[in-house]
Amino acid sequence: MIKNNYRTYCAIILCFLASLSFSAIPKNDQGELITSLAPLVKKVAPAVVNIRVSQTVRSRSPYDDEMFRRFFGTPNIPNNEREVQSAGSGVIVDAKNGYILTNHHVVSGAEKIQISLINETTLDAEIIGSDPATDIAVLKVDVGDLVDINIGNSDNVEVGDFVIAIGNPFGLGNTVTSGIVSALGRTGISSSGYEDFIQTDASINPGNSGGALVNMQGELVGINSAIISQSGGNVGIGFAVPSEIAQSIMSQILEFGEVRRGLLGVSIHTIDEESAEILGIEADSGALITAIEPGSAAEEAGLKVDDIITKVDDEEISDARELSNAIGLKGSGDNVIIEFIRESNILLTNATLGQQKINNQIGSDIHPGLVGAHFSSRKDRPGIEVAEIEPGSPAAQRGLKKGDIIIAVNRLKVENIQQLERIAKKNSILYLMFERDDRTLILRIQ
């Protein structure tokens, strides 16, 4: 009797363990268990490339300090510039035209970019466009023997979905790791930019940036972008830019040559329990409109100061940052449905978003010779102000100073940063005409 009971218990435990092991194995579209990811990897791995970036940096020396030079002069010292290389990953999304998606931070400041295919073929690449705010960049290579990947709809991704990550961690090309989607809609990972990350426990390490996050159907659902780690290595918390965002940024870059980010035209403040109590309102979350720009999308949609925005296209808005994300991740001209509270009434309105203007930019995103400069468009009159200059940087070496106002480039008048960027994309040498201390000067930037 005891022996029979023991056998029964063992059988129950074995069945339970078997059910656990089978539940951890993903299934295909036909409901069949996937016992190996090899067929999937063979299908998608050729679309993932290794990226090698080269750029010239200048080492700091005491002679970079203006006070030091004033007292001791500037001796003849050897050129302390050196070439540095970094590595990342990319994903071929259009084999016919040679377009590759990667991260902005992988190629920022690059003077030379090369990509390596899975068959070890090496090709030169150029940057078609880049968006620091979403950390997405689009590269182009001459069409060769390329294989692309289908872009999936990241809006259909759910927590618990099985995914694989492919990239170039620590220079180990075409490394494949697997895991699940740990969370969706992650924000606050960086201090700036627009975020709506997919979180995954698939191993992501330095060098994976720009690589592919792929679902079990072999579709690209994210561009691996960031990790949280105290050691710099993988701890099971990685983040990917959703494919819907990456595809939207790429489409805008290819169509317009720039990112035309949506603009509602409001100033906002986060509503929390404390502010709700002070203002005597029922909502304990949302974004309070504190100002509206004349002629903006918000004004045309009938929004008013003191309205509290709680949803954008059925997406809950709990604070000001979430509203900025929701609007900033959409394109200009997009129509959005906004739910808001006005005098305790819940109302809906449609808004057609305007276009944000780029008011601030770093030189490394414009031209290699402008690395180390920070630019801002002036609100009161045309021109581009040099807001900051990093000592010893290429921009400083070429003679730019904080406070310079750029008014023309290659004899073409420029009124904002977008115009400077367009000229820099077409020319490797720039002649900057700028104003400094009531004088007009010209600098050659190469």
Active site residues: 105, 135, 209
3-class SS at 365?
A: helix
The conformation of residue 202, written as its DSSP 8-state character, comes to S
The conformation of residue 304, written as its DSSP 8-state character, comes to -
H or E stretch at 71: helix 66-72
Closest to 132 in 3D by CA, of 339, 312, 355, 362: 362
**What is the C-alpha to C-alpha distance for residues 389 and 55, in angstroms, rounded to an integer?**
19
Neighbouring residues of 289: CB distance < 8 A, sequence distance ≥ 6: 266, 267, 268, 298, 303, 304, 305, 306, 307, 308, 309
Residue 351 has phi, psi (to 5 degrees) of: -130, 135
**What is the C-alpha to C-alpha distance for residues 239 and 196, in angstroms, rounded to an integer?**
9
**What is the C-alpha to C-alpha distance for residues 332 and 93, in angstroms, rounded to an integer?**
24
Tokens of 64: 């970079």
H or E stretch at 20: helix 2-23
- Give the DSSP per-residue string, 245-261: HHHHHHHHHHHHSS--B
Q: Are 360 and 375 in contact (CB under 8 A)?
A: yes
The conformation of residue 27, written as its DSSP 8-state character, comes to B
Tokens of 406: 């750029």
Neighbouring residues of 202: CB distance < 8 A, sequence distance ≥ 6: 163, 164, 165, 177, 178, 179, 180, 213, 238
